[in-house]
Structure 1
C-alpha cells in the first residue's frame, strides 16, 4: 500500500488553471441575449409581470370600491341616526305639549270649581 502523496506546487497551479478554464467555458456556453430561448423567457417574465400588475390594479380598484361602499353605508347610518333623533325630539315636544295641555285643563277645572 502506497502512502499519501501531497500535490506539488506545479500540480496545484495546473488544477487552478484547469478550474479557471472550466469556469470560462461554462460562461461562454451560456446563450447570448439574442438567443430565441432567452428572448422567449424574457417575454414570458414580462407577460407574468404585466398580469401581476393588472391583478394589483384590479385589487386596488376593488379596495377603493369597497371603501366607497363603506363610506356610503356610514353616511346612510349617520343620516338614519339623525332622522331618528329628530323624530324623537318631535315626539318629545308633542308629548310635552300634550302634558302641558292636560295640566292646563286640570288647572282650569280646579279654577272653575272654586268659582
Structure 2
C-alpha cells in the first residue's frame, strides 16, 4: 500500500512543479519590457543598423561580382577579337603568298613559252 502513496505523491509533485513552471513563464512574460521601452528601441535600432550594414556588404559583393564578370567578358571578347584579327592577317598573308607563287609560276611558264617560241624561229 505504501507503493500507491508513493506514486500519488510523485504525481502531486510533478503537478506542482508544472504549475510553478507555468507561473514562472507567465512572470517572465509579464516582466518583459514594453515595445516603447528605450532599451527595446535601442536594441531594435542596433539590429536595423546591423541588417542595413549586412545589406550594404551583400550589395557591394554583388557589384564586385558583376564588375568581375563584366571584366572577364570584356577580356574574353578582346581575346576573341585578337584571334580573329590574327586569323584574318594570316589569311591575307596566305592569299599574298599564293598570288606571288601564281605570278612566279606564270612568269616561269611564260619564259618557257617564249624560249620555245624563240627556238622555233631559228
TM-score (norm 1): 0.83
Q: SS of the counterpart of 2:33?
A: coil
- CA distance in 1: counterparts of 2:38 and 2:23, whole angstroms: 27
- Indicate how the Cα distance of structure 1 residues 106 and 12 shifts in structure 2: closer, same or farther if over 3 A, else same: closer
Which residue of the partner structure matches residue 32 of structure 1?
34
Matched, 1:74 2:76: yes
Which residue of the partner structure matches residue 60 of structure 1?
62
- Indicate how the Cα distance of structure 1 residues 19 and 78 shifts in structure 2: closer, same or farther if over 3 A, else same: closer
- CA distance in 1: counterparts of 2:96 and 2:11, whole angstroms: 111
Structure 1 runs of 4+ aligned residues shifted over 6 Å read none
Q: SS of the counterpart of 1:40?
A: helix
Aligned length: 113
Segments of 5+ residues of structure 2 without an aligned counterpart are none
RMSD: 2.2
**Which structure has greater helix proportion?**
2
